[in-house]
């Protein structure tokens, strides 16, 4: 399928392009791009003072650049801003960033030529993935600059599994390097495309993770002999929340017809909070997810280039503004990181109840021969360590300080940092949930003769056992964790 930009994209569209779908622009979108390009041409012709067109950037905004040097200014901006460091972003993330950048240009307020956007769409079409370091953007500039390097034949990229320099990468997909015009260098590094693309891919991952969290919790609740009355629709409705309602319905559906739950009826007055509050913790995360998704769509509907051009070629308007600053997007990513970290935290607590002989009613640490075998004792350590790391990562990036560009940029919202650490939190949460799922399946092995599982949880159990067998301390556990984490990362629970 092809995602088509007409008026705007949604975060789902960006995530789809990140995952490999093609991206095209409607005639109306191309017309907006070309109109804005003509406006910039007119600004150059008339000498109307415009930031980044005929002036320097940042603290050099008052330094006038003559017409002969404006192309050099664009090239210099790209080269000087490409100073990222650290591991490279994944191809999926780079594709999403490019899609978000094209969407920003398609609003028709940037002024780049059609050729710029055509080259960017060609990168996506041929899966030419620029090398984009993951670290170094206080706001948005660095990541974008590394993509822009390829357009001018610099930098490096991967095409068909082979890494090559920018000029070779362009030649491999039938293109030549571009000579940048006025403002194009600034537009290519400007805007919030990197934070928006990263947040869109994180939302896609988080949505799947939340579905798995509900499903895995159901398998654990069943093994723990939960008191299911706490999840009655009428009971949960006493605390109005779309998220709680959705999670409660998911749990009831998964556990419908469970012999284990029926056998546990009345065993306890009430369950521990890590079991009883699953709808509340998971539901809160879903409510935060919905808000973060709304804000990301709002970002994609926004012009995030500075300056923005408007008017007509005959009467051009240049507006210096701060739309490239994205406090709302950074706060959205921070909020979702907190929510996902809490999903991991409650998962680790549920898993502990399965392995802890003081409360489980199961063999200690789910070991087949407790004493000579340790079972899942140290797997719980791993889950606890990852949960603790997530607590640290959940500290908000949006409140980070930093002054740049000689006090000209004296407030930073850090949306890219927030989006980056959101991915790290999701990584850890996937592993934590994988460990819980493994432990829940092991617990069910010991409960097989007690009563039958629900049909909805039996599907999960069988999916795990298709990938890993019962654990008898005869192999390292890390391989099992990776196998189950791959299941969570790559497959939706509804698809198994």
Q: Please spell the DSSP secondary structure of 205-236, one letter per residue.
A: HHHHHHHHHHHHHHHHHHHTT--GGGG-HHHH
In a 10 Å sphere around its CB, with 0-12 CB exposed, 13-18 middle and 19+ buried, how is residue 271 labelled?
A: buried
**Which run of H or of E encompasses 350?**
helix 327-355
* pLDDT per residue rounded down to tens, the chain (496 residues): 899 999 889 999 999 999 999 999 999 999 999 999 999 988 888 777 777 677 766 655 566 666 666 788 889 999 999 999 999 999 999 999 999 999 999 999 999 999 999 999 999 999 999 999 999 887 678 899 999 999 999 999 999 999 999 999 999 999 999 999 988 999 999 999 999 999 999 999 999 999 999 999 999 999 999 999 999 999 999 999 999 999 999 999 999 999 999 999 999 999 999 999 999 999 999 999 999 999 999 999 999 998 899 999 899 888 888 888 899 999 999 999 999 999 999 999 999 999 999 999 999 999 988 889 999 999 999 999 999 999 999 999 988 777 766 656 666 778 999 999 999 999 999 999 999 999 999 999 999 999 999 999 999 999 999 999 999 999 999 999 999 999 999 999 998 9
CB-based contacts of 14, cutoff 8 Å, min separation 6? 96, 99, 100, 103, 196, 197, 200, 201, 300
Residue 344: HSE in the Cβ half-sphere, 13 Å Cα cutoff: 32
> Distance from CA of residue 26 to its chain's centroid?
27
Contact 283, 243 (CB under 8 A): yes
State how far the Cα of 113 lies from the Cα of 101, in Å rounded to an integer.
Answer: 14
Contact 197, 100 (CB under 8 A): yes
State how far the Cα of 135 lies from the Cα of 355, in Å rounded to an integer.
Answer: 39
Edge-to-edge order in the sheet of strand 129-130:
129-130, 156-159, 162-165
Return the domain boundaries, the chain.
2-190, 199-495
Expressed in angstroms, the distance from the first to the final Cα of the chain is: 23
User: What topology is assigned to 199-495 in CATH?
Assistant: Fumarase C; Chain A, domain 2 (1.20.200)
Residues 124-150 as b/e (b if ≥16 CB within 10 A, e otherwise) read: bebebbbbbbbebbbbbbbbbbbbbbb
Residues 194-226 as b/e (b if ≥16 CB within 10 A, e otherwise) read: bbbbbbbbbbbbbbbbbbbbbbbbbbbbbbbbb
**Would you state the pLDDT for residue 47?**
75
Cβ atoms < 10 Å from Cβ of 59: 13
H-type helices in 256-326, by residue range?
A: 259-263, 273-276, 278-300
- From the list 325, 329, 322, the residue with the least C-alpha distance to 308 is 322
My answer on whether omega of the bond before 472 falls inside 30° of 0, hence cis, is no
DSSP symbols for 381-446: HHHHHHHHHHHHHTS-STT----BTTTTB-----HHHHHHHHHHHHHHHHHHHHHHHHHHHHHHHH
Strands 133-135 and 85-88, bridge-based pairing: antiparallel
State how far the Cα of 252 lies from the Cα of 456, in Å rounded to an integer.
Answer: 10
Strands (E), 129-262: 129-130, 133-135, 156-159, 162-165
Q: What is the CATH number of domain 2-190?
A: 1.10.275.10
């Amino acid at each position: 399928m092809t995602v088509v930009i007409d008026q705007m994209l949604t975060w789902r569209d960006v995530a789809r392009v990140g995952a490999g779908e093609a991206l095209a622009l409607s005639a109306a979108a191309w017309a907006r791009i070309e109109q804005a390009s003509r406006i910039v041409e007119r600004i150059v012709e008339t000498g109307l003072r415009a930031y980044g067109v005929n002036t320097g950037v940042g603290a050099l905004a008052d330094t006038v650049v003559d017409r002969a040097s404006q192309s050099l200014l664009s090239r210099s901006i790209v080269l000087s801003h490409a100073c990222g460091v650290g591991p490279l972003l994944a191809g999926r993330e780079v594709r999403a960033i490019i899609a978000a950048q094209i969407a920003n240009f398609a609003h028709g307020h940037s002024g780049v030529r059609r050729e710029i956007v055509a080259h960017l769409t060609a990168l996506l079409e041929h899966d030419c993935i620029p090398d984009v370091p993951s670290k170094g953007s206080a706001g948005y500039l660095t990541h974008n600059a590394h993509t822009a390097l390829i357009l001018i034949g610099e930098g490096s990229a991967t095409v068909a599994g082979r890494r090559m320099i920018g000029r070779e990468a362009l030649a491999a997909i039938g293109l030549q390097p571009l000579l940048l015009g006025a403002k194009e260098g600034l537009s290519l590094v400007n805007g919030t495309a990197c934070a928006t693309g990263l947040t869109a891919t994180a939302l896609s991952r988080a949505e799947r993770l939340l579905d798995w969290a509900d499903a895995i919790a159901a398998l654990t609740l069943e093994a723990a002999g939960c008191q299911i009355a706490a999840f009655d629709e009428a009971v949960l409705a006493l605390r109005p929340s779309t998220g709680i309602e959705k999670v409660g319905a998911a749990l009831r559906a998964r556990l419908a017809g469970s012999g284990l739950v029926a056998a546990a009826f009345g065993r306890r007055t009430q369950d521990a909070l890590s079991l009883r509050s699953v709808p509340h913790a998971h539901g809160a995360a879903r409510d935060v997810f919905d808000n973060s998704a709304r804000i990301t769509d709002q970002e994609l509907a926004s012009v995030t280039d500075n300056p923005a051009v408007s008017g007509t070629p005959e009467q051009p308007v240049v507006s210096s503004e701060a739309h490239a600053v994205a406090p709302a997007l950074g706060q959205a990513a921070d909020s979702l990181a907190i929510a996902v970290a809490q999903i991991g935290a409650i998962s680790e607590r549920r898993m502990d109840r399965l392995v802890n002989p003081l409360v489980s009613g199961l063999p200690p640490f789910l070991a087949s021969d407790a004493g000579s075998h340790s079972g899942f004792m140290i797997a719980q350590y791993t889950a606890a360590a990852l949960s603790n790391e997530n607590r640290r990562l959940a500290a908000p990036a949006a409140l980070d300080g930093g002054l740049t560009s000689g006090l000209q940029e004296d407030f930073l919202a850090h949306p890219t940092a927030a989006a980056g650490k959101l991915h790290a939190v999701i990584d850890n949460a996937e592993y934590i949930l994988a460990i819980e799922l493994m432990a829940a399946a092991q617990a069910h092995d010991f409960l097989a003769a007690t009563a039958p599982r629900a049909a909805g949880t039996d599907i999960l159990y069988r999916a795990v056992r298709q990938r890993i067998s019962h654990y008898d301390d005869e192999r390292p556990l890390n391989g099992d964790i990776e196998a189950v984490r791959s299941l969570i990362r790559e497959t939706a629970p509804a698809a198994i």
